[in-house]
Amino acid sequence: MEIGVLAWGSLIWNPDNLQVRNPFAEGGPALPIEFSRISRNGRLTLVIDETDGQVCNTYFAMSSCTELGEALENLRVRENMEHVNGVGFIDFVSGEVSQRARERHPNAITVISHWAAHRDLDAVIWTALAGNFSEKLKRPFGIEEALSYLESLPRESFALAAQYINSAPATVQTHLRNAFNERWPHNG
């Protein structure tokens, strides 16, 4: 089975134990992406966000796994997810689509399907975690709210957050990234 893996964040510069046949390359589908998820260490991380995201070009690589279940589990482990349902997928052989991804970003599934139609893929997988900023902070996500959140972080946590934002590929230009670089132009 030929399985494509999509990425827009840390998978690109730190694939770690993700089993891919080649490094991530430009050419993935254009998806709405934003730093609207608060990670376990307090960083704001990139997710598909159909409400607040900016359409950005993504990257892709080919999985070394030949079975969809194996590829899903491999991405789950790399992303340190508790459950495999946080991994989005489209199986073009069976027609099955991740229910969680369908709930979280239905329009992205259409875009990913159209993108994959021009490639010889049997399946596509991606990290389908949702933004959780509003849930965690009990206030809606917005650029000023996110900047205030970052400003409130302890120095070490802010440094980790800045490193993540600065490490994102140049093609991932979101509203928050632009505002972050305006507020803290020499944050690296």
81-105: pLDDT as tens digits: 998 888 999 999 999 999 999 999 9
pTM for this prediction:
0.94
pLDDT for residue 188 is more than 60: no
Q: Please report the pLDDT score of residue 187 as a whole number.
A: 66
Instruction: Concatenate the DSSP letters of all residues of 103-166 into one string.
Output: HH-HHHHHHHHHHHTTS--SEEEEE-PPP-HHHHHSS---HHHHHHHHHHS-HHHHHHHHHHHH
Instruction: Concatenate the DSSP letters of all residues of 15-62 into one string.
Output: -TT--BSS--EEEEEEEEEEEEEE-TTS-EEEEE-TTTPEEEEEEEEE
Provide the token pair at 13: 């510069």
The mean pLDDT of 53-78, rounded to a whole number, is 97
d(CA 126, CA 46): 12
Residues 2-61 have pLDDT tens digits of: 999 999 999 999 999 999 999 999 999 999 999 999 998 999 999 999 999 999 999 999
The mean pLDDT of 134-159, rounded to a whole number, is 95
Q: Please report the pLDDT score of residue 118 as a whole number.
A: 86
Mean pLDDT in the chain?
95
Work out the percent of the chain whose per-residue pLDDT is above 90: 93
Query: Which of these, 125, 85, 76, 128, lies nearest to 104 by C-alpha position?
Result: 128
Q: What band does 185 get if pLDDT is binned at 50, 70 and 90?
A: confident
Work out the percent of the chain whose per-residue pLDDT is above 70: 99
Q: What band does 147 get if pLDDT is binned at 50, 70 and 90?
A: very high
Q: Please report the pLDDT score of residue 85 as a whole number.
A: 85
